[in-house]
A and B are shown apart, each in its own frame.
Chain A
Amino acid sequence: MSRRISVVENILEANERIAAQNQLVLDDAGVLAVNLMASPGAGKTSLIERTLDELRHQLSIAVIDGDIATNIDADRAAAAGAQAVQINTGGECHLDAVMLQQALEQLELGSINLLIVENVGNLICPANFQLGTHLNILIASTPEGDDKPYKYPGMYRGVDALVINKVDLLPYIDFDMSYFQRGVEALNPGLTAFPMSCKTGEGVDGWLEWLRVQLAGVSGPH
């Protein structure tokens, strides 16, 4: 006979369970993990290079790079002085908790303070897949346009901080900062934002200072 069974289960539950396990593993090792998300070309790898340049003498930093293909980003992170693991997603548009779990196994977590995860360049999907990282950071870049919060609201809603990169280009492009910020405010009230240029170094200090404060809040075996 035929029967209807009530389920009411979140379809992403399996991913979220593994994300929670990842966070436990990171917490046990005393590692702060940040997930960098942005559209392709916004400056994820450039921000990582800047961050490594400034912090690698004080901290042990690892980078996990997610891309559809190639090791270009992990090579850049390794050249800048990090333990680096590349994940090639083979077409998947975002990293998920299982991919991070596998990448974590390749790192010596006990010797790391800060883990930077570079998500696949995409302004839609990564927002829906928790990884287990402690902080989600979105990098917007000014040449993408000031309408991005309005067009990709999901991405702006879930993040803990916003980097506004390539502000050195503002004199050359039509980017209305107040229109942009108004959209951000509607999606994520009071969101901490860091206008900067990874190229000139302008504004990078504010980001580093914030990161240091977040790191100071981590308790662990270190």
Chain B
Amino acid sequence: MHELMITESLLEIALRYAEKEEATKITDLFLVVGELSSVVDDSVGFYWDFICNGSIAEGASLHFKRIPAELACLDCGYRFSPQENITCDLCDSTRIKIMAGKEFYLESIEITQDESKPDDAFNNASHSKIEQGSLGD
């Protein structure tokens, strides 16, 4: 159940970047999760709903880009999935390198910024209307 801690880290990172940009809301988080990272998307999603409460990321959607694991044989160059084997089925070598699948990072976030000035109330009102419309997409 280490996804709780991971989800807290995720929020902390997203808030840090959002603050730098003076965001008023975080609407989406785009994560890259390799097959070998032992992170369960559903579990992160489950905790996220609780963790993001009360922050500017409340209600933000998580998007997972899953990277399949790929191994390569250093002797014959055969590329294969660790689901098949961890040694090379082609030349029997044990000299194997991980090419992909260890990734686990927050790639980007989608934020909204309130660019209205205090004397610009009309624009502000129409702006948030558009925002609400686009959130429903």
Residues of A within 8 A of B (CB): 1-15, 91-94, 96, 124-125, 127-129, 149-150, 153-154, 157, 182-183, 185-187, 189
Contact = CB atoms under 8 A, between A and B. Distances in A.
Contacts of B5: 15, 92, 96
A3 B1 contact: no
Contact of A125 (B38, B94, B115): B38
Contact of B108 (A6, A14, A96): A6
Contacts of A150: 85-86
A189 B108 CA distance: 36
B112 A1 contact: yes
Interface string B93-116: 011101000001111111111010
A91 B111 CA distance: 34
B68 interface: no
21 contacts: A1-B127, A2-B111, A2-B112, A2-B134, A5-B17, A5-B21, A5-B109, A7-B106, A7-B107, A8-B105, A8-B106, A9-B106, A11-B104, A12-B6, A12-B9, A12-B104, A14-B12, A91-B1, A93-B1, A153-B86, A157-B98
B36 interface: yes
A183 B9 CA distance: 34
